[in-house]
Amino acid sequence: MKKKIILTVLLLVMPFMITVVHADMGPKPSTEITFKGLGDGTYYVSIFGTEHRMGPNGPLISGITSGMATGPYVDLEGFKKYYSDYPEEIIDQFVEYTNGKYCFWGNLNEVTTENNKITWSYYAPDDFIVVVITPQGKLIASEPVQRSVIAGYYKCTLEGDTLKMQSNYNWGKERLRLLARVAATIAIELVIALIFGYRDKASIATIVKANIVTQLILNLGVSLMNIVFGILGAYLIMILMEIIVFIIEGIHYSRKLPGKKGLAWLYALVANAASWYIGSQILVIMSAYV
């Protein structure tokens, strides 16, 4: 049993050597935009953020010039080669275009009347503009948008030479994502529970009930703080709530699960770390389809 636990801990710690550690699977900043008023042909779309860097993404050119870029973003030629499906002149237009503090982050999308939606599903910028290049090669930029909620939904309407941005919040999709986060958390933590030897019905019921409660606390706390104090407050409360989730589950498991209390606390730590890391990767993929 000890060998299994040590192996589990090592496997879970390794990814966090290169990743910011969070507990559980709270919502991460995302932006979805549906385009209206498009004509025939392919439109090229990008979301321009400010120089402020959030999450693993950030401004393309400043990353290249500062030496902080990685992978295909090391230099502009490498970026163009990586995105060879996009016309080089289109990439050049995005790179060369500036609008005050807003700059190209390397986000590329193709939009048509049939495929008129784009999603930035993981740490999208809070302060941004939408930049569109029409099939005729004309570049059009929207007015600045301040995303005031964790998951922002917008309708972007092309009217002549202007882009009109409107809120288009999708409550149904957010409910599905909430259910997906809860279900994924429970599934992952149950797998870890089996490794730790918690296999009886009472232990499984304890873990399931605890996760339903803590996930509701986490998501409702973030949502409430967002409504009252905006996106910055939501970020801050997310960190606090994720720590609280770990403490609540640790105390609850140490009282309810069989065996030593130290083992229950270790399980709470490993299970929450695993559910966030693995679940966040799944949800990034799911966000394009849910």
Q: Are strands 127-133 and 145-146 parallel, antiparallel or unpaired?
A: antiparallel
Q: What is the mean pLDDT of the chain?
A: 78
pLDDT at position 155 over 60: yes
Rounded Cα–Cα distance for residues 15 and 73 (Å): 22
Nearest alpha carbon to residue 266 among 210, 192, 173, 183: 192
- Tell me, what's the pLDDT at 35? 97
Q: Which amino acid is at 149?
A: V
- Tell me, what's the pLDDT at 55? 43
Average the pLDDT over 165-181 and give the result. Answer: 76
165-179, 180-194, 210-224: least confidently modelled range: 165-179
pLDDT at position 230 over 70: no
| Start-end of H helices in the chain | 2-13, 60-66, 76-82, 88-96, 171-195, 201-229, 231-256, 261-286
8-50, pLDDT tens digit by residue? 555 454 444 333 334 455 556 778 899 999 999 999 999 998 8
Nearest alpha carbon to residue 242 among 279, 206, 205: 279
pTM here is 0.56
Residue 219 corresponds to which tokens in the numbers above? 């998501």
C-alpha distances (whole Å) from 50 to each of 140, 175, 211 are 18, 30, 37
Nearest alpha carbon to residue 181 among 30, 53, 15, 34: 30
Rounded Cα–Cα distance for residues 48 and 62 (Å): 13
